[in-house]
Amino acid sequence: MQLTGAEIVVECLKEQGVDTVFGYPGGAILNVYDELYKHSNEIRHILTSHEQGASHAADGYARATGKVGVCFATSGPGATNLVTGIATAYMDSIPLVAITCNVGVSLLGKDSFQEIDIAGITMPITKHNYIVKDINQLADTIRKSFIIAKKGRPGPVLIDIPKDVTAAKTEYTPQPAVQVMPSSDIDERDLETALAMIRRSERPFICVGGGAILSDAAEEFYRFAKKVDAPVTDTLMGHGAFPETDELYTGMVGMHGTKASDYGVDECDLLIVAGARFSDRVTGNVNEFAKNAEILQFDIDAAEMNKNVLITEGVIGDLKVILEKLNSRLEQQDHTQWKERINSYKEKYPLVYPAEGLSGPWVVEEIYRQTEGDAIVVTEVGQHQMWAAQFYQFTEPRTFLTSGGLGTMGYGLGASIGAKMGRPDKTVVNIAGDGCLRMNMNEIATAARNNIPIIEVVINNHVLGMVRQWQDLFYEQRYSQTVLNDAVDFVKLAEAMGAVGYRAQTREEFQKAFAEALTLGRPVLIDCQIDKDEKVWPMVAPGAAIRDAFDEADMKKKAD
Cα torsion at 220, 418, 96, 121 (round to 10°)? Answer: -140
β-sheet bridge partners, residue 156? 96
β-sheet bridge partners, residue 459? 433, 528
For the question of residue 441 being annotated catalytic, the response is no
Helix (H) or strand (E) holding 496: helix 490-496
From the list 525, 513, 517, 355, the residue with the least C-alpha distance to 457 is 525
Find the distance separating the first CA and the last CA of the chain, reported in whole Å. Answer: 81
For the question of residue 113 being annotated catalytic, the response is yes
- Choosing from 197, 466, 497, 539, the catalytic residue is 466
DSSP 124: G
- Choosing from 42, 113, 192, 202, the catalytic residue is 113
Q: Residue 332 contacts by C-beta under 8 Å, 6 or more apart in sequence?
A: 227, 229
Helix (H) or strand (E) holding 524: strand 524-529
Rounded Cα distance between 485 and 280, Å, is 32
Cα torsion at 290, 211, 457, 349 (round to 10°)? Answer: -20
- Choosing from 51, 244, 456, 534, the catalytic residue is 51
β-sheet bridge partners, residue 296? 272, 313
Rounded Cα distance between 530 and 306, Å, is 42
Helix (H) or strand (E) holding 527: strand 524-529
For the question of residue 555 being annotated catalytic, the response is no
Q: Do residues 165 and 3 touch, judged by C-beta distance below 8 A?
A: no
For the question of residue 163 being annotated catalytic, the response is yes
For the question of residue 278 being annotated catalytic, the response is no
- Rounded alpha-carbon distances, angstroms, from residue 424 to 206, 241, 389, 470: 33, 21, 23, 38
- Choosing from 14, 15, 114, 505, the catalytic residue is 114
Q: Do residues 501 and 455 touch, judged by C-beta distance below 8 A?
A: no
β-sheet bridge partners, residue 73? 100
- Choosing from 67, 127, 150, 163, the catalytic residue is 163
Active site residues: 51, 113-114, 163, 466
